[in-house]
């Protein structure tokens, strides 16, 4: 699938949820200037986001984490329980590891920092997530990797560790992958899109998606972010 807009396709329906009115309106203005997007609603808190989403049925929600009445994390859990195929991107000032892992656990497909994300990056992220990818700000990957490692150590050492998002299973072994699957995963870890991976390896995007399904299956992980982190984790040990 081409991540760029096609005039013959229906626009991507976007809901923006943020309690800061100026920032929220800035996002709406940005998206309305871009082709391929239709902003179908604005919410100032998590409770309103849940109610409005059920009314306007967006394809994607840009969701702040810290909001009154109902947090973005809780709103995400409720919305994905209602509609598992909904795409939710966390866009926040928080770079705290706890927020990042809770967002992943809640089911968010993307997590971007307001302080370090440009307008172009935001638009590209929305397009990539609509195309079926999962996106984490590259600056947060080392934190994510370190926390997954720490969680695995805690789980191996004690049964009373606090509830946290599951790290990639320690039994997952990168050596199970074929040479081509390893190549695909390495490019995922570099942050390449399916389209870019296909171009780099001179294969079709459908073939890339098939390789990714096999990779997730073999490594017993849920998404490409966990698979890429597992690769980095195992390479770090070598």
Q: What is the pLDDT of residue 136?
A: 65
Neighbours of 106 (CB within 10 A): 22
52-91 CB burial, b ≥16 within 10 A, e <16: bbeeeebbbbbbbbebeebbbbbbbbbbbeeeeebbbbbb
Q: Please give the domain boundaries of the chain with CATH numbers for all domains.
A: 12-136 (3.40.50.2300), 140-237 (1.10.10.10)
- Give the mean pLDDT per block of 10 residues along the chain (238 residues): 55 95 93 93 96 96 92 92 89 72 77 83 87 66 61 52 44 79 87 85 91 87 74 67
């Amino acid at each position: 699938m081409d991540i760029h807009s096609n005039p013959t396709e229906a626009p991507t329906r976007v809901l923006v949820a943020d309690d800061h009115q100026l920032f929220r309106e800035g996002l709406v203005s940005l998206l309305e200037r871009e082709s391929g997007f239709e902003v179908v609603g604005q919410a100032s808190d998590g409770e309103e986001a849940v109610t409005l989403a059920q009314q306007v049925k967006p394809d994607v929600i840009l969701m702040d984490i810290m909001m009154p009445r109902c947090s973005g994390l809780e709103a995400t859990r409720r919305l994905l329980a209602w509609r598992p195929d909904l795409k939710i991107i966390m866009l926040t000032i928080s770079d705290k590891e706890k927020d990042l892992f809770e967002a992943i656990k809640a089911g968010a497909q993307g997590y971007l920092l307001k302080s370090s994300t440009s307008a172009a990056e935001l638009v590209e992220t929305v397009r990539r997530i609509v195309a079926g990818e999962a996106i984490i700000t590259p600056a947060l990957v080392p934190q994510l990797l370190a926390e997954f490692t720490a969680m695995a150590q805690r789980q191996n050492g004690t049964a009373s560790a606090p509830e946290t998002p599951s790290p990639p299973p320690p039994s997952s072994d990168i050596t199970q992958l074929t040479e081509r699957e390893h190549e695909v995963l390495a490019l995922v870890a570099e942050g390449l899109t399916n389209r870019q991976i296909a171009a780099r390896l001179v294969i079709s995007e459908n073939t890339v998606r098939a390789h990714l399904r096999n990779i997730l299956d073999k490594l017993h992980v849920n998404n490409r972010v966990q698979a890429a982190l597992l690769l980095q984790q195992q390479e770090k040990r070598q």
